[in-house]
Amino acid sequence: MLIWSLVLIVDICAVPYVSGTLLGKKGEPVVVRTPESRFSDLAQLGYPWEPKYAYQNAYEGLPPLRVHYIDEGPYDAPETLLLLHGTPAWSFLYRTMIPVFLKAGYRVVAVDNIGFGRSDKLTDPDLYTHELHVKTVAGLVRALDLQGVTLVAQDLGGPTGLGAVARDPSRYRRLALLNTWLPQGDILSSASNVFQHIPYLSWRTVTSILGRHVPVKTVFTVASDAPKSAVHGGYKAPFPSALYKAGPAKWPLIIPLSIDDPVAIENQRVAAILRKWEGPVLIAYSDREVFTISGKRFFESIFPYACTSTIQEAGHFLQEDQGPAVAQLILKFMRDGCY
């Protein structure tokens, strides 16, 4: 049974955590936490920020799950940037963009969804749901009482973040949508739709076969220009073994294929709300994006007044390939709107 509450706890020892004491149906621990030693080299890789944590009561019978986020810049800044990742990434993806935002004087909050980064990980893929991800983001935004938020969302951070926006629209000022989509459940509705979604459907098939053995390094090798083994190590750090990879194994499979899928129905509801959105919107896709390119046309249809941009020489993870340039683009959008 999915329940919900999220609280901020300054003293992280206030919530006891013992890894592996609660066993699941396969005799595995239901919740695991990546050892801190796995993150010891982050500062050398350009990710120096101190971790902060909130605790989420997600499922009845489970201990509170630890949600990691970073919160940098002045708390009284007039605007906050909320940075959301997809799979199998985490807030490390934004490490070259965050300094640009901080230098401009903004507050920056970047979240690791449950199952990713320094957040706790459920080992059963079936425990990962769209609702869990949306409530993680919406709950943290409420717990931090964020106002005047510019949402920056990429990959599956898009449907997650937009779901959170639909629940608290007054907290958000702008939307910056990067290589993302809001699947309406029409992927299999026609031959042409199937054709344009072949990259995603291929990845879905691979993920279904590999499950918790999905190769994180290979994902970033194929979908970005990140060449350095050290950088790949930053992306692999949250996952010491296959036991920790249930999140990446399930998230791509949550994307709805039919219009009667509950996630499709929820995304349709969100789209109806967003059609009434009056705030500024930036739609930016890289020149080599293939997985979510259908989202560009969909977003342009529901945000006909949006600013649009193409990020040159970038793959799916455009934050990795052109991070500082994308950050400058977002800052210019925040200052000047369409230009």
pLDDT(196) > 70: yes
Residue 10 predicted with pLDDT over 50: no
Average pLDDT, rounded, for the chain: 90
pLDDT tens digits, residue range 137-170? 999 999 999 999 999 999 999 999 999 999 999 9
Q: What percent of the chain has pLDDT over 90?
A: 78
Condensed to tens digits (0 to 9), the pLDDT of residues 221-268 reads 777 776 666 688 899 999 999 999 999 999 999 999 999 999 999 999
In this structure, of 8-22, 59-73, 198-212, the range with the lowest mean pLDDT score is 8-22
CA distances (Å), origin 235, targets 98, 116, 155, 284: 17, 10, 16, 23
Buried b (16+ CB within 10 A) or exposed e, 7-46: eeeeeeeeeeeeeeeeeeeeeebbbbbbeeebbeebeebe
State the pLDDT at residue 223: 74
pLDDT above 70 for 8: no
CATH superfamily, with its number, for domain 6-336: Alpha/Beta hydrolase fold, catalytic domain (3.40.50.1820)
Task: Give domain limits for the chain.
Answer: 6-336
Average pLDDT over residues 195-224: 88
172 within 8 A of 141, measured Cβ to Cβ: no
Residue 326 pLDDT exceeds 90: yes
